[in-house]
Amino acid sequence: MKLIRLLFLLLAGVVFSQSHFEFLGGKSKIDIPFQLINNLIFIPITVNGVELTFLLDSGVNETLLFSLENKEVDFDQVEKMRFSGLGDNVQIEGLLAVNNHVQIGKNLADYEHKIYLILDEEFNFSSHVGIPVNGIIGYHFFKDYVVKLNYVTRKLTLYEPSHPPKISRKYSKLDLSLELNKPYVMAGIEQTTTQKQSKMLVDLGNSDALWLFPSVISGFQYNRPNIDDFLGRGFSGDIYGKRSRIRRLVVADFALEYPLTALPDEFSIQHLKLVPQRKGSIGSETLRRFTLIFDYPNKTLHLKKNRYFSDPFHFNMSGLDIKHDGMFWDRDLVQVESLKKSSSESGDRVYTAPSAFQYRFVLKPEYSISGSRPGSPAYNAGLRKGDKILSINRKKVTTYSLKQILELLKSEPGDKLTFEVKRLSKVQSFSFFLVDPIPYEP
């Protein structure tokens, strides 16, 4: 955040206008392509003339900015703020900037957008995604329009409420309640045999399939097997708890079998302001199995299953957390495709390609292990936090994206992985087999 230039610091309160995104150029619908990484949606957004990358998160009210990755953005009219959220600490400091020009593509703009600036550099999660991520946008993206989310085509489409999309019979409809500017639906939670209707946050910013809060569920009992695990990072700190599976999740007319479930401990949610009767969250590992139509103006959610619907709920069975450590310059030996002229006995000119090589310098990614869960296959094999990864399955790690590595870690039970790492200047190799630590057992 050190490159943010704050032109005017307002110590008094700021009076806000009701800003909103406007369709430009006479459009009635707008398409926005997105990147999908670890089930999360990332879109390009221009803030005060500077193009940045934001996570689309229906579980946040305001627009947040926490990193600029060496870019420089001008903000005026700012004041100090404090934030609290999911985590084990109470509050973090930040700033509120108003009257920002925020634009998405060529045809969607808000000229009075509020942005909350998170000053804690530890909050940046770019290294765990593999691309620079600058902020999060939520309610203000959805509040005025009908938003269609297609995970197969990687495309968002915004419609004017007066020109909504055609909705076929393949879609099912859910009532959407907006509380504290966040969307909630009723879903069937079947831990073992009894199904209970439960209020759940529809949370695009949560990469897991399902979160349940044991401390607010009467008579809750943990399904076995379960494991203690690091669940993620909230606005106020690290989140810990357990992971397990439940028998079934029912959303509208669709039943999903044995979804993975994260169960944060009571200390991680003690400072979270829960709306009445909320029991948990439906995350993007579940939502990606549908084409979704969010209609905030009419408080409805339409969904139909897509080609990912029957995918099994696979877990990161290695026990490893991997982070992207940035890029470095490396040299590749490449063949030079030049031609050499010669003459044949008949006098014809002949061109031949000589066997010439030269070095080409390219930027390549670096990765390391940021966590190794005790008792997991990788931990038992000897891999530890801080190990710098050199290769996976005898293939240089520089040829992988972080997304590809994460897919390897939750591929299939029984798959063998071999990691070559560097630890304290010593190169070591470790092999292990993927084992699902939490298969569902009735």
pLDDT for 363 equals: 59
Q: Are residues 256 and 330 in the same domain?
A: no
CATH number at residue 370: 2.30.42.10
The model's pTM: 0.83
Q: Establish if 426 belongs to a structural domain.
A: yes
pLDDT for 341 equals: 55
Q: Establish if 314 belongs to a structural domain.
A: no
Q: Are residues 75 and 189 in the same domain?
A: no
Q: Are residues 296 and 324 in the same domain?
A: no
pLDDT for 9 equals: 34
Q: Are residues 287 and 361 in the same domain?
A: no
Q: Establish if 311 belongs to a structural domain.
A: no
Q: Are residues 285 and 338 in the same domain?
A: no
pLDDT for 239 equals: 83
Overall number of domains in the chain: 3
How would you label 86-99 residue by residue, b for 16+ Cβ within 10 Å and e otherwise?
A: bbbeeebebbbbbb
- Decide if 88 contacts 272 (C-beta within 8 A): no
Q: Which of 305, 330, 356 finishes a domain?
A: 305
pLDDT for 342 equals: 55
Q: Are residues 155 and 218 in the same domain?
A: no
pLDDT for 1 equals: 34
The span from the CA of 113 to the CA of 110, in Å, is 6
pLDDT for 364 equals: 72
- DSSP structural state of residue 353: -
The span from the CA of 147 to the CA of 293, in Å, is 6
Contacts of 66 (CB under 8 A, 6+ apart): 1, 117, 118, 120, 121, 123, 124, 134, 135, 136
CB atoms within 10 A of CB 302: 23
Q: Are residues 301 and 358 in the same domain?
A: no
Q: Establish if 225 belongs to a structural domain.
A: yes
Q: Establish if 313 belongs to a structural domain.
A: no
pLDDT digits (tens, 9 = 90+) for 103-158: 998 899 999 999 988 876 666 666 677 778 889 999 999 999 999 999 999 999 99
Which positions of the chain have pLDDT values less than 50? Answer: 1-17, 86-89, 333
Q: Establish if 410 belongs to a structural domain.
A: yes
Query: 78 to each of 5, 350, 401, how far by Cα in Å?
Result: 11, 71, 38
Q: Establish if 440 belongs to a structural domain.
A: no
CATH number at residue 91: 2.40.70.10
The span from the CA of 341 to the CA of 334, in Å, is 22
Q: Are residues 272 and 227 in the same domain?
A: yes
Residue range(s) defining the domain that contains residue 64: 5-159
